[in-house]
Amino acid sequence: MVTLNTKQDFNRVYRSQKRWHNAYFVLFFREDAQQKRIGFSVSKKVGNAVCRNRIKRRLRAIYRESMLDLRGGDMILLAKNGLDKVAYKTLQSNYKYALIRLGLV
């Protein structure tokens, strides 16, 4: 799993046209045929460090499950407040639905 590292990479993806939001997260996508990269953004508004790290672990696990089926490009998952209280299956189904709506699968 290759991650986005610099602020410029994140800003480039944030400015892209493809995005999908629901009650739990916002998914940003920028096409790039060369590689698949992912970035996670969890604000301090969401919770303390333990809570934010748990959210990132869950998002990473969901991404890994679908990583092989995705088109090449940069993706950012931006967590919204209350994501830590959602069941894993619900989060997983919302993520898959977002990928289908954006045409990434």
88-102 and 49-66 helices cross at what angle (nearest 10)?
50
> For residue 16, how many other CB atoms are within 10 A of its CB?
15
pLDDT in tens, 52-97: 999 999 999 999 999 999 999 999 999 999 999 999 999 999 999 9
User: How many Cα atoms are found within 13 Å in the side-chain-facing hemisphere of 56?
Assistant: 15
Share of the chain above pLDDT 70, in %: 99
Query: Which residues does 49 contact at the CB level (< 8 Å), separation at least 6?
Result: none
Does residue 50 carry a pLDDT above 80? yes
Cβ-contact 76, 6 below 8 angstroms: no
pLDDT value at residue 53: 97
Beta-strand ranges (E) seen in the chain are 2-3, 18-21, 25-31, 36-41, 73-79
Does residue 11 carry a pLDDT above 90? yes
Residue type at position 43: S
Cβ-contact 81, 48 below 8 angstroms: no
- Please state which architecture CATH assigns to domain 2-102: 2-Layer Sandwich (3.30)
Domain boundaries, the chain: 2-102
